[in-house]
């Protein structure tokens, strides 16, 4: 008789995907004493050269994964989240990220280069004796027998582990087997990204803020990166793009096409960009189950979302912390640990998935009376009310193991 997923003392836990979610997971599990083997499709391991915003909840996760001090040393601390009207170039509102914000949430809000963030995890994983990192290792499918899971790789190799965590992103092969809900939903929103040297950024826009210019069916985001050496530019328009696209190089004129109707100051941000790359954004409906026996999904593989709350990577890191905690709480009994992880993370991540869509519609892209209503609601909020409304997200990481396991 099989032993309901008790962890093997000899087999490692397999992690498909060496992105931010996969490496955070490896670190979390290894920190609790489990051996981990990461199987990453690409060679070498890396991240796209762009920025990422980190809410205080990301720092809660860094601390639990043992990389808090390194992350704090590499991050840039912006003073405010600023919402601008892309038609008038006036400020709609801002959220102060100073002392009162940090005191309320116990950690700062920051921005960081993706390569730096990924590098923090990669360095920690490489230094950990219980983590093996494999590249050019695409997981195609798995089989399990109750005592172990076998991952079948594109190169023909079969790798056995005690469990398999699918951290293989938006187009997850592991998800295809665990959930089987087809291709992701194409949002019809096109995003262009560029990172420019700070001297190329117009001087009157070099704000120490994560700034968002909201316009009819479009928005622009910018913030400083890498010790103020560069600025991250992300511009998005709702152009009903029909097909998913990832990282296609495009010229500035093509980017500007969706922004002819916005204020010249907002347009100037786009004119200063270079080496633009295009993504057509996808997400999915939340689903209740990300677990199949000794196999579980994590990060974008489990709950892909639009980037409008700047939380996809933060959620992946929270997942990693939660998974490690559940494995420890269940003394390595894999099936109950994975089920508890799924239950603990489900509603929080579903809320961020759905709220990210809603923010796009009601805050970033409205026009006319819809935009005027947005302005009135957002301007009426005091700083304390902003902090109250964000407490569910930034104040913690969701339920602790005790709460979910009863
Ligand atoms: C424009 C944009 C801006 C964003 N801004 C923010 C932000 O400010 N803050 C934030 O928190 N989040 C942000 N996000 C979301 C964030 O980037 C993702 O949620 C996060 O990177 C997901 O990490 P992951 O490890 O789950 O997946 P991924 O980063 O997709 O990593 C998956 C890894 O698995 C590998 N892989 C894929 N298939 C296989 C396979 N079959 N076998 C083995 N390996 C495989 C891939 O090569 C990759 O390395 C943004 C996203 C976008 C598009």
- Please give the number of the atom of ligand 1 that sits closest to the Cα of 24: 25
The answer, yes or no, to whether residue 145 has pLDDT greater than 70, is: yes
- For ligand 1, the distance from its centroid to the CA atom of residue 172, given in whole angstroms, is 11
Strand partners, 211: 82, 222
Q: Could you say which DSSP state residue 361 is in? A: I
Per the CB < 8 A criterion, the answer to whether 166 and 160 are in contact is no
- For ligand 1, the distance from its centroid to the CA atom of residue 122, given in whole angstroms, is 15
| CA-wise closest residue to 398 among 330, 335, 338, 315 | 315
Q: What is the pLDDT of residues 4-38, one digit of tens each?
A: 444 556 899 999 999 999 999 999 999 999 999 99
Category of 299 on φ-ψ map: left (φ > 0), alpha (ψ -120 to 50) or beta: left
Mean pLDDT of 293-298: 98
Per the CB < 8 A criterion, the answer to whether 262 and 213 are in contact is yes
Q: Which residues contact 8 (CB under 8 A, 6 or more apart)?
A: 147, 148, 162
User: Distance from CA of residue 166 to its chain's centroid?
Assistant: 15
Q: pLDDT-derived band of residue 400, with 50, 70 and 90 as boundaries? A: low
Mean pLDDT of 238-243: 94
Q: pLDDT-derived band of residue 169, with 50, 70 and 90 as boundaries? A: very high
Q: What is the pLDDT of residues 48-66, one digit of tens each?
A: 778 999 999 999 999 999 9
The answer, yes or no, to whether residue 116 has pLDDT greater than 80, is: yes
The answer, yes or no, to whether residue 148 has pLDDT greater than 70, is: yes
Locus of tokens 């239950």:
343
Is the bond into 84 cis (omega within 30 degrees of 0)?
no
Strand partners, 14: 37, 164
CB 4: neighbour CB atoms within 10 A? 12
Ligand 1 pocket, residues with Cβ under 6 angstroms: 16-22, 39-42, 52-53, 138-139, 167-170, 173, 191, 193, 234, 279, 299-301, 307, 310-314, 316
Token code pair at residue 135: 């590249």
Burial, 327: exposed, middle or buried (Cβ in 10 Å; 0-12, 13-18, 19+)?
buried
Per the CB < 8 A criterion, the answer to whether 247 and 225 are in contact is no
């Amino acid at each position: 008789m099989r032993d309901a997923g008790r962890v093997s003392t000899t087999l490692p836990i397999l992690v498909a995907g060496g992105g931010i979610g996969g490496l955070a997971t490896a670190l979390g599990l290894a920190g609790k004493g489990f051996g981990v083997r990461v199987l990453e499709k690409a060679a070498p391991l890396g991240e796209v050269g762009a920025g990422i915003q980190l809410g205080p909840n990301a720092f809660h996760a860094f601390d639990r994964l043992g990389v808090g001090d390194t992350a704090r040393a590499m991050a840039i601390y912006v003073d405010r989240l600023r919402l601008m009207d892309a038609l008038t170039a006036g400020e709609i509102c801002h959220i102060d990220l100073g002392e009162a914000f940090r005191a309320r949430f116990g950690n700062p809000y920051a921005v960081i280069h993706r390569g730096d963030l990924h590098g923090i995890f990669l360095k920690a994983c490489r230094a950990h004796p219980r983590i093996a990192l494999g590249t050019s290792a695409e997981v195609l499918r798995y089989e399990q027998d109750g005592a172990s899971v076998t991952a079948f790789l594109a190169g023909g190799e079969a790798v056995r582990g005690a469990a398999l965590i699918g951290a293989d992103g938006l187009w997850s092969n592991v998800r295809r087997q665990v959930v089987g809900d087809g291709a992701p939903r194409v949002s019809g929103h096109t995003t262009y990204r560029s990172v420019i040297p700070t001297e190329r950024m117009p001087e009157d826009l070099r704000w120490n803020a994560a700034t968002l210019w909201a316009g009819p069916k479009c928005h622009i985001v910018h913030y400083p990166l890498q010790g103020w050496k560069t600025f991250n530019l992300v511009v998005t328009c709702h152009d009903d793009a029909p097909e998913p696209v990832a990282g296609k190089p495009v010229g500035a004129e093509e980017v500007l096409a969706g922004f002819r109707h916005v204020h010249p100051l907002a347009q100037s941000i786009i004119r200063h960009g270079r080496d633009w790359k295009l993504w057509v954004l996808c997400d999915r409906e939340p689903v209740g189950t990300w677990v199949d026996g000794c196999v579980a999904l994590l990060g974008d593989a489990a709950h892909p979302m639009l980037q409008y709350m700047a939380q996809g990577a933060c959620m992946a890191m929270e997942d990693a912390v939660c998974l490690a905690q559940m494995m420890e709480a269940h003394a390595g009994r894999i099936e109950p640990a994975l089920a508890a992880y799924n239950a603990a993370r489900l509603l929080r991540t579903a809320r961020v998935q759905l709220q990210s869509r809603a923010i796009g519609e009601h805050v970033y892209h409205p026009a006319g009376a819809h935009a005027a209503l947005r302005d009135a609601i957002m301007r009426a909020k005091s700083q304390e009310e902003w902090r109250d409304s964000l407490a569910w997200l930034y104040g913690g990481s969701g339920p602790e193991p005790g709460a979910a396991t009863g």
